[in-house]
Copies of this chain bind each other. A is one copy, B any other.
């Protein structure tokens, strides 16, 4: 690869249920084959109507409804497993960047499917084969701060398995799997920002065409050392 560039898509309006996000992206960005379109979860949730009316006191109730399992709880902080298998704060429920006061945004029902539909619609409108990653900001157990990770994906290699490949000195890699989709999500966060309504970015220069989904990233319980 010569270089990776990531550009924010500027000028998107506040999104509403039913909006044609692919059309809105197309009007504001030039796409090419092989581009990866990265979309913050809030944008997808809004166009899919995953917004509920709830005030601050009702938030915990909404979180527990969205949670399949509470993993840890301390005060108002709830770490929960979602129906998708993601383990994250508040089961993905969030008030920031919600469409109006006293509303909460929920995760998309099936973010991989959301990604696939956006990819199909972009192909229909532009003729280009792009990848799509839907992102959210997740905390991590032993490190401060959040990084954006992939909660939905279509048309990209989500995990790259280097097992059996050799390094320049001939050493055979034994168990090296890179979570490419999560690294793309984090990279895009660096240009998207949380305060200026730029929930979409375009990554160019990656060679990551593939057929993975973000569900592939979820660690199966039987393999997890940290259930």
A interface list, Cβ under 8 A from B: 1-8, 14, 72, 74, 77, 79, 86-87, 95-101, 137, 140-149, 159-160, 162, 165-171, 173, 176-180, 182-184, 186-187, 189-191, 194-197, 205-206, 216-219, 223-226
- Within 8 Å by CB of A147, from B86, B141, B144, B179, lies B179
CA distance A77 to B224 in the complex (A): 12
A218 in contact with B142 (CB, 8 Å): yes
Once the chains are docked, how many angstroms separate the CA of A190 from the CA of B143?
21
- Residues B225 and A72 in contact, CB atoms below 8 Å apart: yes
CB distance from A203 to the nearest CB of B (A): 8
**With A168-B14, A225-B79 in contact, do A87 and B142 touch (Cβ < 8 Å)?**
yes
The interface residues of chain B lying within 8 Å CB-to-CB of A191 are 1, 3-4, 205
Given A5-B5, A146-B178, A97 and B141 contact (CB-CB distance below 8 Å): no
Residues in B with CB closer than 8 Å to A140 are: 140-141, 179
Partner of A224, one of B100, B142, B145: B142
Top-3 shortest CB links A-B? A145-B179, A187-B187, A141-B226
Which residue of chain B lies nearest to A85 when distances are taken between CB atoms in the complex?
Answer: B142
